[in-house]
Amino acid sequence: MKRIHNARHAAEAHLICGLLQSCGIAAVVRGEWLAGGFGELPVDGCAVWVTDDRQLDEADRLLMDFLDGRIAAAAIGDGWQCPGCGESCEGQFTSCWRCGSERPN
């Protein structure tokens, strides 16, 4: 198991962990409950760990693409039309903001 990212807070760690998991990479968040001890304990805080070392290179590539904004930039131009209500939705969304229908594959 290797640490791939030291997060500023638990929300960031879970966002990155969820991204990795959605791409098939086994990842976990560790240390989120230690954040309250900053100033009193020598801890790194919240971090994302890849549990399978064989997936580390792919996880690192995905993390860099995310942090550099390449993943968001790729999705922006990929708009779609909601099958439920016909609303135009931006590419980064997986469900319709208006009616909640899921984005078609």
Residue with tokens 């009193």: 40
What's 103's DSSP letter? P
Tell me: the pLDDT tens digits for 22-60? 999 999 999 887 655 555 554 557 999 999 999 999 999
Looking at residue 1, its amino acid is M
Q: CB of 33 within 8 A of CB of 43?
A: no
Q: Mark out the alpha helices in the chain (DSSP H runs).
A: 10-22, 56-67, 70-76
Tell me: the pLDDT tens digits for 3-30? 999 998 899 999 999 999 999 999 999 9
Rounded to a whole number of angstroms, the distance between the first and last alpha carbons of the chain is 33
- Tell me the pTM: 0.68
Residue with tokens 């070392």: 53
